Amino acid sequence: GQQLNQSPQSMFIQEGEDVSMNCTSSSIFNTWLWYKQDPGEGPVLLIALYKAGELTSNGRLTAQFGITRKDSFLNISASIPSDVGIYFCAGPPSGGSYIPTFGRGTSLIVHP
């Protein structure tokens, strides 16, 4: 199936630092989604992006739909301990598929 490459695989940061992660694909995507999975829980949708170039914020989180439509970025400002978890990007490749593909996730650990 279609591969989404997320980087970095893991991040270890200090509380208060800003975080950046990204997701790339070899194919064009029409939608990008970012989810967060808390330890022991199911993923929860953070941000959905539907237009190339779109920049959307949700509190301290900001996500962007890349202009090439082959990438997306998620930034977290002023990290706090509850930001710990796995962040997944997802999206349906163009061509009519309504089944999103998921990246393998970026694991974030925040040290107090």
Chain residues that interact with other proteins, rule: CB under 8 A: 1, 31, 33, 35, 40-45, 48, 88, 90-92, 98-100, 102-105
Positive or negative, the CA dihedral 20, 73, 90, 57 is positive
Least CB distance from residue 25 to other proteins, whole Å?
A: 14
CB of 70 to other proteins, least distance (A): 17
C-alpha count within 13 angstroms, C-beta hemisphere, residue 2:
21
Residue with tokens 């962007």: 64
Nearest to 89 by CA among 34, 22, 51, 52: 34
Which of 39, 112 has the CB closer to other proteins?
39
Q: Which is nearer to other proteins, 70 or 77 (CB)?
A: 70
Query: Which residue, 30 or 75, has its beta carbon nearer to other proteins?
Result: 30
